[in-house]
């Protein structure tokens, strides 16, 4: 007994499906491969490694701006440290920061690492609400037991302060 259907119509449909399936799979595979350069991954400072975030790869880095770490240069460059209370990363940004950017605030910076492992941000995002924390950052801090979402506050060691 053959696994092929007895009906000529059913056999024709089976052959069409069998011919179309690899073409469709190839099209999906090529589409995913083409989009891989447009994907921006999110990392917290403790997850950033040379392998996960190589030099030049565009990523998003999120965490809390460490108290006392914001240094404004004369040329408009701002250097600050982002932390998730486990790891830290130095961020350099040239341009105007959001009005409500401050120490202890949860931020997300998009950019890439330089060879010296300083994160060169092309964009810095901060929300207007004083209890705002990016969802990814809150999730990572919650996993580590460093942030309590029911209180809506940053950990005691990272109390919010204005610049």
CATH label of the domain that carries residue 65 = 2.40.50.140
Calculate the CA dihedral of residues 114, 70, 63, 154 and round it to 10 degrees. Answer: 170
Tens digit of each residue's pLDDT (9 = 90 or more) over 69-101: 999 999 989 999 999 888 999 999 999 898 878
Predicted pLDDT at 100: 79
Q: What is the total count of domains within the chain?
A: 1
90 has which bridge partners? Answer: 81
pTM of the model as a whole:
0.62
**Residue 146 resides in a domain:** no
| pLDDT tens digits, 95-122 | 989 887 888 888 999 999 999 999 999 9
pLDDT digits 0-9 by tens, 5-43: 888 898 899 899 999 999 999 999 999 888 877 777 889
Q: What is the SS3 assignment for 10?
A: helix
Phi, psi dihedrals of residue 105, rounded to the nearest 5°: -85, 145
Distance from C-alpha of 51 to C-alpha of 119, rounded to nearest angstrom: 15
Whether residue 154 has pLDDT greater than 70:
no
For residue 102, what are the domain limits?
A: 41-126
Number of helices (H), then strands (E), belonging to the chain: the values are 2, 7
- Tell whether 58 is covered by a domain: yes
User: Does 63 reside within a domain?
Assistant: yes
Does the residue 158 lie in any domain?
no
Burial environment of residue 67 by CB neighbours within 10 A (0 to 12, 13 to 18, 19 or more): middle
In a domain, 7, yes or no: no
Share of the chain above pLDDT 70, in %: 83
Is there a domain that residue 67 lies in?
yes
Residues annotated in a binding site for heme: 128, 132
Q: Is residue 103 part of a domain?
A: yes
Residue 68 lies in a domain: yes
Q: Which residues participate in the annotated binding site?
A: 128, 132
């Amino acid at each position: 007994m053959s696994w092929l259907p007895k009906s000529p119509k059913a056999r024709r449909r089976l052959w069409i499906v069998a011919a179309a399936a690899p073409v469709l799979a190839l099209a999906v595979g090529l589409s995913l491969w083409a989009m891989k350069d447009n994907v921006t991954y999110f990392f917290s400072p403790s997850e950033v490694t040379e392998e996960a975030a190589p030099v030049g790869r565009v990523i998003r880095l999120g965490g809390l701006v460490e108290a006392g770490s914001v240094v404004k240069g004369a040329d408009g460059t701002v250097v600050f440290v982002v932390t998730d209370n486990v790891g830290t990363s130095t961020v350099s940004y040239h341009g105007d920061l959001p009005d409500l950017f401050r120490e202890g605030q949860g931020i997300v910076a998009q950019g890439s690492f330089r060879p010296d492992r300083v994160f060169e941000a092309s964009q810095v995002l901060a929300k207007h609400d004083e209890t705002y924390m990016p969802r990814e950052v809150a999730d990572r801090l919650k996993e580590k037991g460093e942030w309590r979402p029911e209180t809506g506050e940053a950990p005691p060691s990272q109390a919010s302060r204005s610049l």
